[in-house]
Structure 1
Amino acid sequence: MDKIKILLVDDHKMIRDGIRASLAGTADISVVEEAASAREALKKIAQHPSIDVVVMDISLGEGEDGISVTKTITEKYQGVNILAMSMHDEETHVIKMLQAGAIGYMLKDQGMSDLVEAIRTVAGGESFFSKDVSELLMSHFVRKKTKPNAKKDMVNLTRREIEVLKKIAEEYTNQEIAEALFISPRTVDTHRRNLILKLNVKNTAGLVKYAISQQLIDM
């Protein structure tokens, strides 16, 4: 059985050493690399693109944070899943990490058995949230749903479709979008038609309205 390969990112060596030692006795998990900074994390993931899970601290010291690193990794390495592990249980930290691409979030005061379960779950491409984080998220989405001016649920769009949609909303022409995204005008037109179908709108005005409702452009 192949082991789940882990990159451990935390600016505290004592924590990295403790986690590595605790996971050493787990038959299906292996910490293959560790990093103490954002730059080091990106370097290590580039050297080991076969890593399955990055256990990512949010606060990395010296003004760095795990949120931007998470975004970069999830955009560049499609097969890598991010498990956030932090002392922070504030709603803004959790939401920002999820928006950046993390699919799991647990607090550092959880036990090692919880970390093992979280790693196994996230490695399988499924979400994992510790109990406190789950309750926080539930509260967030309940409040969001009951707001009178809450945004419509985001349709599942690809990253490229979102890029094209933003350019359309910013009044770029097909040719300008093509040049900005290094694709052909014909491909832009295909994306435009697909967006109209996916979002169930009639025309470009409908696309712009949707982009505004999702705050994809600055107003």
Structure 2
Amino acid sequence: MEKIRVVIADDHKLIRVGLNAILQLENDVEVVAEAENGIEVAAILKEKVVDVILMDIDMGIPNGIDTTYKIKSDFPDVKVLAITQHEERDYILKMLEAGASGYLLKNCGRDELLAAIHAVVNGDSYFSQSVSATLLKAITDLKSAPKSSSKADNPLSDREIEVLRLIVQEYSNVEIAEKLFISVRTVDTHRRNLLEKLQAKNTAGLVKYAIEKGLA
């Protein structure tokens, strides 16, 4: 079985050591390197094959947000999973805009950490429960705000909006297919079309778009 190759990026050694100790116990995960800033992350990616980066936000200059932008530009296949103490909406949205596939808080447990790593490797997004609550509140706030967008601002069909809303609610492709009475292959097609139309890097990008447009 091929292992998931992980880089831990955090400017606090204690955090890196702790995460490394947890992941070393897993048969399907390998920590290939540690970094304490964005410069070290970039250097590692030039030398090693990496699947997932566990990314702190507060790493000095460049910070985790700027580092994520750079990574997704230069290494688009590498998944970024934010692990931070910040649960404010602005931090979450900035990381999603940068291209992060998931967002965890540093008080998460081992099981949630592993679930998040596997989710982003499989192309899904993952948010801590409180982060999901923050995103839902952002959606609610936008729904209650006056709508000024026109059809021209929203290139999606009614069916694509239906699929997008269910993606935001964290339904799997199989669950979306069952709910909308369509095939899983059709759901896959809608998801690809959404990514292409909205120029989103991943599912997290779709979530961000839905929040901004009040579509969820």
- Shorter-chain TM band: 0.5 to 0.7
Residue in structure 2 matched with residue 21 of structure 1 by the alignment: 21
- Structure number with greater CO (CA < 8 Å, separation at least 6) is 2
Partner of 1:111: 109
In the other structure, the counterpart of 1:79 is 77
TM-score (normalised: structure 1): 0.67
How far apart in 2 are the matches of 1:81 and 1:155?
27
Give the corresponding residue for 1:169: none
- The 3 A distance-change label for structure 1 pair 143 and 5 is same
Q: Does 1:55 align with 2:54?
A: yes
Task: Flag structure 1 segments of 5+ consecutive residues without an equivalent.
Answer: 157-197, 200-212, 215-219
Where does structure 2 lack aligned partners over 5 or more consecutive residues? 157-196, 199-211
Alpha-carbon distance between aligned partners in 2 of 1:99 and 1:20, rounded to the nearest angstrom:
27
Would the alpha carbon gap of residues 102 and 32 (structure 1) be closer, same or farther in structure 2, given more than 3 Å must change?
Answer: same
Cα offset, 1:116, TM superposition: 0.9
Higher Rg: 1
Matches within 5 A, 1:107-186: 107-149=105-147, 151=149, 155=155
> Match of 1:53, as an amino acid?
V
RMSD: 2.2
**In 1, distance between residues paired with 2:120 and 2:52?**
7
Confirm or deny: 8 A CA contact 2:102 2:125 kept in the other structure: yes
Does the 8 Å contact 1:7/1:45 carry over to 2?
no
Inter-CA distance 154–70: structure 2 relative to 1 (3 Å threshold): farther
1:173 aligns with: none
Partners of 1:154 and 1:29 lie apart in 2 by 40
Equivalent residue of 2:59, what SS?
Answer: strand
Aligned to 2:96, what secondary structure does the other structure show?
helix
Indicate how the Cα distance of structure 1 residues 11 and 150 shifts in structure 2: closer, same or farther if over 3 A, else same.
farther
- Runs of 4+ aligned residues of structure 1 deviating over 6 Å after TM superposition are none
Contact 1:5 1:31 in 2 (8 A): yes
How big is the shift at 1:64? 3.6
TM-score normalised per structure 2? 0.68
TM-superposed CA distance for 1:149, in Å, is 4.1
Percent of aligned positions with the same letter in both sequences?
38
* Number of residue equivalences: 158
8 A contact 1:144–1:150 mirrored in 2: no
2:7–2:34 contact (8 Å) kept in structure 1: yes
Distance 1:98 1:66 in 2: 12
After superposing the two structures, state which structure 1 stretch, 84-93 or 74-83, moved more: 74-83
